[in-house]
C-alpha cells in the first residue's frame, strides 16, 4: 500500500503544484524520487511530528494540499493536539498519512503500533478516516483524498499486501465496496485484513456457508446503507479490523445497528481486545497470536455459529 500511495501521489503532484509532502525524517527509500524531482513540494520536518503538523496546517491555509507522512501512531497520537486544533478546527486541507497501520511494525513494540488511531481520528470533527484494503484501494484513496477539500486521515499498511480488486473498481469515499455476496453472514472489513477475511470466506464456502464481504475502506463517514443492507440480508454480521474493538470500525457499525431499531441482530466485533500487545514478532505472527489471521477469524465465526 505504501508504494501505491507514493506512486499515485507523485504522479498527481507532478501535475498539481499545490500538492506538498511533509515527512517526519523517514521513508527515504520510498519518497526519494519525490524529494529529488519535486524539491519545491517536499519538506523534511525532522523527528518533530508536532511541528510537522503545525507546519502542514499553515501551508494548507495558504492554499496548498498538504500530506504529512510518518510511521504508525506518530502523525496521530503524538501530535493529537495539533491535529485537533490546527487542522480540524480550521478545516485545513491536510491529509495525514499513517504508514504501518495496526501491527505492521510488530517487532518494534507498542510504541510503533497503531491500534487506537481509527477510534481517535474518527472522533475529531471535520476529519475523514480512510483505511484501504489493498494496493488498488490505496492508490484510489490517495486520489480521492486529494479531491476532497478538508482534513483526511489515510491509514496504510506497510508493504507487500496482496491485490484484491481489479484496477477499475468503483472507489468512492463513504461508499463500501461489495467484494462478494453471500446469504449466511457478512464480513465488514476495514484495512489490510481484507485478504484474511476473503480467505476465511473461502474456507467457510467448503462447509456450504456463504459470506457477504464488504470492504469498508471509509470508516468516517461510514456507509450506513451498506451496513443496514448487510444486517437485513444476512443473519450474522462481523466486523474485522486490525485495531482495538473499542471505538473503531466495530464501534461505528454497532452505533448504526443500535440506532436503526432493526430488532435483534447478531453482531460480533473481530479485533484487538482492550489490552496492550505484550508479545514480540512480525505482523503475521502477531495476527495469529491475537486471532486476526484467517484461522483466528474462522475460530471466532465458528464459536458464534456453535451458539446458534
At residue 307 the predicted structure's pLDDT band, cuts being 50, 70 and 90, is: confident
Q: pLDDT tens digit string along 26-46?
A: 878 889 999 999 999 999 999
Cβ-contact 142, 8 below 8 angstroms: yes
This model's pTM is above 0.85: yes
Supply the CATH classification number for the domain 2-156: 3.40.50.970
How far apart CA 12 and CA 266 sit, in angstroms, is 44
Domains 2-156 and 177-306 are alike in CATH topology: yes
Domain residue spans in the chain?
2-156, 177-306
Q: pLDDT tens digit string along 44-88?
A: 999 999 999 999 999 999 999 999 999 989 999 999 999 999 999
Closest-CA residue to 238 (of 164, 196, 157, 300): 300
The per-residue pLDDT for 263 is: 80
CATH class in words for 177-306:
alpha beta
The per-residue pLDDT for 143 is: 98
Rounded (10°) angle between helices 194-205 and 294-306 = 50
Task: Please name the residue ranges forming H helices in the chain.
Answer: 2-15, 28-37, 49-60, 80-82, 117-122, 135-147, 194-205, 224-233, 249-260, 283-289, 294-306
Amino acid at each position: 500500500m505504501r508504494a501505491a500511495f507514493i506512486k499515485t501521489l507523485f504522479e498527481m503532484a507532478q501535475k498539481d503544484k499545490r500538492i506538498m509532502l511533509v515527512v517526519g525524517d523517514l521513508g527515504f527509500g520510498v519518497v526519494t524520487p519525490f524529494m529529488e524531482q519535486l524539491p519545491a513540494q517536499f519538506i523534511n520536518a525532522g523527528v518533530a511530528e508536532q511541528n510537522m503538523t503545525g507546519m502542514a496546517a499553515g501551508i494548507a491555509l495558504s492554499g496548498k494540499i498538504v500530506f504529512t507522512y510518518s510511521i504508525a501512531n506518530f502523525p496521530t497520537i503524538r501530535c493529537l493536539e495539533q491535529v485537533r486544533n490546527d487542522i480540524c478546527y480550521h478545516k485545513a486541507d491536510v491529509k495525514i498519512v499513517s504508514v504501518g497501520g495496526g501491527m505492521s511494525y510488530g517487532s518494534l513494540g507498542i510504541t510503533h503500533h497503531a491500534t487506537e488511531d481509527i477510534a481517535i481520528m474518527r472522533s475529531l470533527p471535520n476529519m475523514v478516516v480512510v483505511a484501504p484494503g489493498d494496493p488498488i484501494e490505496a492508490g484510489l484513496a490517495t486520489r480521492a483524498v486529494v479531491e476532497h477539500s478538508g482534513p483526511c486521515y489515510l491509514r496504510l499498511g506497510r508493504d507487500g499486501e496482496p491485490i484484491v480488486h481489479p484496477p477499475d473498481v468503483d472507489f468512492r469515499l463513504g461508499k463500501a465496496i461489495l467484494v462478494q455476496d453471500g446469504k449466511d453472514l457478512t464480513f465488514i472489513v476495514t484495512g489490510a485484513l481484507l485478504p484474511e477475511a476473503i480467505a476465511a470466506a473461502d474456507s467457510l464456502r467448503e462447509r456450504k456457508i456463504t459470506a457477504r464481504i464488504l470492504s469498508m475502506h471509509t470508516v468516517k463517514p461510514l456507509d450506513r446503507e451498506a451496513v443496514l443492507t448487510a444486517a437485513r440480508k444476512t443473519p450474522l454480521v462481523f466486523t474485522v479490523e486490525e485495531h482495538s474493538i473499542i471505538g473503531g470500525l466495530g464501534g461505528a457499525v454497532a452505533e448504526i445497528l443500535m440506532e436503526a431499531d432493526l430488532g435483534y441482530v447478531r453482531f460480533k466485533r473481530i479485533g484487538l481486545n482492550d489490552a496492550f500487545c505484550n508479545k514480540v514478532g512480525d505482523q503475521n505472527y502477531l495476527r495469529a497470536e491475537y486471532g486476526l489471521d484467517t484461522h483466528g477469524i474462522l475460530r471466532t465465526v465458528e464459536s458464534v455459529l456453535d451458539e446458534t
